[in-house]
């Protein structure tokens, strides 16, 4: 293992300390163990609070989206490990402005169980909680079984669209509806070229040949749908996009936002090579691209690879995507 760190078991807390020192105007820590991050101005009276959370190792997911126009709070687990119930509850309490709290997080068993228990405790304190699960990874379950899918980079759109709606002081039911609509309109698929190493474990999460790739691998190293020899950028991108299109069923004239996401060790140049092909494939089918995002939006430590996400837009979602936002990792004006 070759990493820039001190004590592997202090990695997450030292990372949090650094982020808070860099952005004291935007974030603050709450909870007994200081493993929940919230907006510096939380709670905001009359505004629905949006809480998320998950294991570390995926920045900017999850805590990188805490801020205006995105989410209000985040519970932070160890690398690739779910946060605790207490951490989730601490975030919930700190962002409750009296209009209720929406839990918005990826569809992973540990997170689902712990957030459910946190919701029960919050309800007992008089905080009304609703839950929406991100489940955008088409490789993780077939069409018709969307509820079994993992949440990956597409959660970015759920954060952005629901976060923008919450900023209008819309009621909890409306913020939840937009989050659900965002998930229903979003599909992702990725490819992994190399593993990553969890600091506390000190060994790679999986093994793969120098000349191999795995299509559909999850962001924690969950098995994909096909492993084989490394293909060209155009071949990889075509496979990802065509698989997404078969699931999302976009007709000519549709408008989408595109997210080409690096998994942690993929150069920006390679992501733009992929975006070039995404653009060719979509425009060739009469699909318009609006506001593309290219960069690292949901990573897996130093894993090499990338994912493509499409989010189908309409007259309701487009202005929410355009709305201004500001977090330590994303600024949109």
Number of helical (H) and strand (E) elements in the chain, helices listed first: 8, 15
In a domain, 264, yes or no: yes
Residues 12, 152 within the same domain: yes
User: Can you give the CATH number for the domain in which 263 is found?
Assistant: 3.30.1180.20
Cα-based torsion angle of the residue sequence 174, 177, 179, 181 in order, rounded to the nearest 10 degrees: -140
Distance CA 55, CA 62 (A): 8
128 in catalytic set: no
Q: Are 72 and 29 contained in the same domain?
A: yes
Last residue of a domain, one of 128, 154, 184: 184
- The answer to whether residues 139 and 276 belong to one domain is no
Domain boundary pick from 184, 209, 232: 184
Least Cα distance to 171 among 122, 67, 100, 69 occurs for 100
Q: Where are the alpha helices (DSSP H) in the chain?
A: 11-22, 85-95, 109-124, 155-167, 172-184, 233-248, 268-283, 317-322
pTM > 0.85: yes
Residue 171 shares a structural domain with residue 272 = no
Q: Single out the catalytic residue among 23, 220, 239, 279.
A: 220
Query: 254 and 150 in one domain?
Result: no
The reply to whether 25 and 159 lie within a common domain is yes
Whose tokens are 């950028």? That residue is: 233
Per-residue pLDDT of the chain (333 residues; tens, 9 = 90+): 899 999 999 999 999 999 999 999 999 999 999 999 999 999 999 999 999 999 999 999 999 999 999 999 999 999 999 999 999 999 999 999 999 999 999 999 999 999 999 999 999 999 999 999 999 999 999 999 999 999 999 999 999 999 999 999 999 999 999 999 999 999 999 999 999 999 999 999 999 999 999 999 999 989 999 999 999 999 999 999 999 999 998 999 999 999 999 999 999 999 999 999 999 999 999 999 999 999 999 999 999 999 999 999 999 999 999 999 999 999 999
* Peptide bond between residue 62 and the one before it cis (omega within 30 degrees of 0): yes
- Last residue in a domain, options 184, 203, 226: 184
Pair 196, 90 in one domain: no
Give all strands of the β-sheet with 49-56 in edge-to-edge order.
27-30, 36-39, 73-79, 49-56, 101-106, 129-134
Do 80 and 176 lie in a common domain? yes
User: Which residues constitute the domain of residue 52?
Assistant: 8-184
Q: What is the dihedral of CA 214, 216, 220, 222, to 10 degrees?
A: -80
pLDDT of residue 11: 97
Peptide bond into 60 cis (omega under 30): yes
* Same domain flag for 146 and 30: yes
Active site residue 220: yes
Verify that 279 and 133 share a domain, yes or no: no
The answer to whether residue 249 sits within a structural domain is yes
| 92: in domain | yes
329, part of any domain: no
Q: Residue 166 maps to which CATH number?
A: 3.40.50.10440
Together in a domain, 43 and 57: yes
Contact in structure between 230 and 215 (CB atoms under 8 Å) = no
> Which pLDDT value is given to residue 1?
85
Q: What pLDDT score does 221 carry?
A: 87
Which residues on adjacent β-strands are paired with residue 130? 102
Pick the catalytic residue: 23, 58, 128, 239? 58
**Is 28 part of any domain?**
yes
Domain assignment present for residue 200? The answer is yes
Residue 330 covered by a domain: no
What pLDDT, on a 0 to 100 scale, did the predictor assign at position 199? 95
Q: How many domains does the chain have?
A: 2
87 and 236 part of one domain: no
């Amino acid at each position: 293992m070759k990493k820039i760190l001190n004590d592997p078991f202090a990695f997450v807390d030292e990372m949090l300390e650094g982020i808070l020192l860099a952005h004291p105007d935007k974030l603050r820590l709450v909870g007994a163990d200081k493993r929940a991050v919230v907006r510096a101005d939380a709670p905001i009276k009359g505004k629905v609070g949006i809480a998320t959370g998950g294991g570390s190792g995926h920045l900017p997911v999850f805590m990188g989206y805490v801020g205006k126009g995105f989410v209000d709070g985040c519970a932070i687990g160890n690398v690739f490990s779910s946060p605790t119930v207490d951490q989730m509850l601490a975030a919930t309490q700190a962002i409750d402005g009296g209009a209720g709290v929406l839990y918005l997080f990826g569809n992973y068993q540990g997170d689902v169980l712990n957030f459910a228990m946190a919701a029960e405790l919050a309800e007992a304190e008089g905080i009304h909680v609703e839950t929406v699960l991100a489940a955008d990874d088409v490789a993780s379950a077939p069409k018709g079984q969307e509820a079994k899918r993992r949440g990956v980079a597409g959660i970015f759109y759920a954060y952005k669209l629901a976060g923008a709606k919450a900023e209008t002081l819309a009621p909890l039911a409306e913020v939840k509806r937009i989050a659900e609509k965002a998930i229903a309109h979003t599909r992702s698929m990725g490819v992994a070229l190399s593993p990553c190493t969890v600091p506390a474990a000190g060994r790679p999460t999986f093994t793969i040949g120098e000349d191999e790739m795995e299509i559909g691998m999850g962001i924690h190293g969950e098995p994909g749908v096909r492993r084989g020899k490394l293909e060209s950028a155009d071949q990889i991108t075509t496979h990802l996009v065509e698989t997404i299109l078969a699931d999302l069923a976009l007709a000519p004239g549709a408008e989408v936002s595109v997210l080409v996401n690096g998994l942690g060790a993929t150069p920006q140049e390679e992501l733009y090579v992929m975006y070039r092909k995404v653009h060719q494939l979509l425009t060739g089918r009469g699909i318009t691209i609006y506001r593309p995002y290219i960069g690292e939006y949901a990573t897996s430590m130093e894993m090499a690879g990338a994912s493509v996400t499409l989010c189908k837009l309409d007259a309701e979602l487009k202005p929410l995507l355009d709305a201004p936002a500001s977090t330590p990792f994303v600024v949109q004006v």
